[in-house]
């Protein structure tokens, strides 16, 4: 009969970390209300008193898990906001949040499960408020440099952080496109606005050159202390060279982008001028063709009127000619009839016919008078 294998006994610190890992997974899967002490103990293969011994209850272990996740995310974003140029800060902050979503999906689900970014209450709302406070300081400095009212910085910080946080919630399940592309589009909207969106946005080299951001070791917030003045100075010196390089790279990149935009603007203006010239030329050509068409129509109408007048005159001449021919023909017919009539009557009557009606009547009158003449 074999003896049961003895389990390796964990130290108190190791057992505590094990319980935190197990609870983190259960809280991410089921939420705080859906997770029980029994499930945590069963998953860690310990008794419930062990859990109570380390954390005092479910609320205690949940608070530790949330504290660690908030500290990790705040550390990532805080490091990103130490960059030089404002756009680089924005890019790296967006990348930091998406990196946290990608690498700590369970922790992010815990933060957003029981509260919404827009709700104003709960763990996630508190986290967003903390991040917005850090962004507010950055925006206030930029507003002052650019002549804007620094009092507007808190409102703009909430807008900016809320946009990034809600995008992170969406990307938690979507995961497409990749982290860098999502960050590029976020910065495109936040930096350029809707009226200046770039068709193919991308991150600057200064933001992508460093790769993923390494957060400092996570410690519980109850033991967190403020860094000393010397540590802050050392950190500032450590970042100073990188910030200067990033600033130079960003300025160079911005100048290149400005040159590209200026060149594109000139090309667009040139294209617009050419299109305007083409439209003007086409308009002149249409007007010329219309004028020629009107002149041709007027010429055609004049020719038609002239032809109609000629046809009318020709018809009048033809009518006159036909009337003359008809009159001549009638005269010839009448003369022929007279000749035929003369040929058929005696000589005396023929003379009367030839003499005409008036002479014939005069002869008759003379003949009447002749009966009374002396010769008779």
Q: In this structure, what token pair is assigned to residue 46?
A: 């310990």
DSSP line for 29-91: HHTTTT--HHHHHHHHTS-HHHHHHHHSSHHHHHHHHHHHHHHHHHHHHHHHTTSSSHHHHHH
Q: Which of 10-24, 176-190, 275-289, 304-318 has the lowest mean pLDDT?
A: 176-190
More confident residue, 277 or 130: 277
What phi and psi, each to the nearest 5 degrees, are found at residue 35?
-110, 140
Neighbouring C-beta atoms of residue 354, cutoff 10 Å: 15
Render pLDDT for 191-213 as a digit per residue (tens, 0 to 9).
877 666 566 777 766 566 555 55
Report pLDDT for 20: 92
Report pLDDT for 322: 92
Q: Which of 236, 250, 219, 224 is nearest to 92 (CA)?
A: 250
| Angle, vertex CA 178, rays to CA 102 and CA 69, nearest 5 | 15
Render pLDDT for 33-84 as a digit per residue (tens, 0 to 9).
888 999 999 998 999 899 888 888 888 889 888 888 888 888 888 787 776 6
* Residue bearing tokens 């008779």: 376
Q: Which of 25-29, 189-193, 210-214 has the lowest mean pLDDT?
A: 210-214
Determine the Cα–Cα distance for residues 97 and 80; give it in Å rounded to an integer: 10
Determine the Cα–Cα distance for residues 17 and 185; give it in Å rounded to an integer: 38
pLDDT confidence of 313, banded at 50, 70, 90? very high
- C-alpha to C-alpha distances, 350 to 21, 58, 255, 358, 367, nearest whole angstrom: 160, 163, 132, 14, 17
Render pLDDT for 98-138 as a digit per residue (tens, 0 to 9).
888 888 888 888 887 755 333 344 567 777 787 888 788 77
Does 245 score more than 80 pLDDT?
Answer: no
Using a cut of 0.75, tell me whether the model's pTM lies above it.
Answer: no
Determine the Cα–Cα distance for residues 76 and 100; give it in Å rounded to an integer: 8
Residues contacting 92, CB < 8 A, separation 6+: 80, 81, 83, 207, 213
Report pLDDT for 242: 60
Does 219 score more than 80 pLDDT?
Answer: no
| Angle, vertex CA 338, rays to CA 334 and CA 340, nearest 5 | 115
Q: Are 250 and 84 in contact (CB under 8 A)?
A: yes
Determine the Cα–Cα distance for residues 299 and 254; give it in Å rounded to an integer: 66
Q: Are 331 and 337 in contact (CB under 8 A)?
A: no
Determine the Cα–Cα distance for residues 40 and 239; give it in Å rounded to an integer: 42
Q: Decide: residue 97, CB within 10 A, 0-12 exposed, 13-18 middle, 19+ buried.
A: buried
Q: In this structure, what token pair is assigned to residue 279?
A: 């439209």
């Amino acid at each position: 009969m074999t003896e049961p294998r003895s389990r390796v006994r964990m130290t108190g610190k190791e057992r505590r970390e094990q319980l935190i890992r197990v609870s983190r997974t259960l809280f991410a899967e089921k939420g705080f209300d859906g997770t029980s002490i029994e499930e945590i103990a069963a998953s860690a293969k310990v008794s419930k008193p062990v859990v109570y011994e380390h954390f005092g209850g479910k609320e205690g272990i949940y608070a530790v898990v949330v504290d660690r996740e908030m500290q990790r995310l705040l550390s990532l974003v805080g490091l990103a906001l130490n960059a030089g140029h404002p756009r680089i800060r924005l890019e790296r902050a967006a990348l930091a949040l998406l990196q946290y979503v990608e690498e700590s999906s369970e922790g992010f689900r815990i933060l957003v499960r029981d509260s919404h970014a827009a709700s104003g209450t709960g763990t996630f709302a508190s986290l967003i408020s903390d991040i917005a406070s850090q962004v507010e300081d950055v925006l206030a400095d930029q507003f002052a440099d650019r002549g804007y009212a620094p009092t507007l910085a808190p409102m703009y910080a909430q807008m900016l952080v809320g946009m990034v946080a809600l995008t992170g919630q969406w990307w938690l399940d979507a995961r497409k496109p990749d982290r860098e592309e999502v960050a590029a589009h976020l910065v495109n909207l936040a930096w350029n606005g809707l009226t200046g969106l770039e068709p193919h946005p991308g991150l600057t080299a200064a933001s992508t050159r460093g790769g993923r951001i390494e957060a400092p070791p996570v410690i519980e917030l109850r033991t967190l202390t403020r860094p000393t003045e010397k540590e802050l100075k050392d950190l500032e010196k450590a970042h100073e060279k990188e910030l200067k390089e990033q600033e130079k790279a960003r300025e160079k990149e911005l100048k290149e982008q400005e040159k590209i935009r200026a060149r594109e603007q000139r090309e667009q203006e040139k294209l617009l001028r050419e299109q305007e010239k083409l439209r003007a030329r086409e308009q002149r050509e249409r007007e010329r063709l219309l004028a020629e068409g009107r002149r041709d129509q007027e010429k055609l109408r004049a020719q038609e009127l002239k032809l109609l007048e000629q046809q009318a005159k020709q018809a009048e001449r033809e009518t006159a000619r036909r009337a003359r021919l008809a009159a001549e023909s009638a005269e010839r017919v009448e003369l022929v009839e007279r000749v035929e009539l003369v040929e058929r009557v005696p000589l005396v009557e023929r003379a009367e016919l030839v003499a005409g009606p008036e002479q014939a009547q005069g002869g008759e009158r003379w003949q009447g008078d002749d009966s009374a003449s002396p010769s008779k």
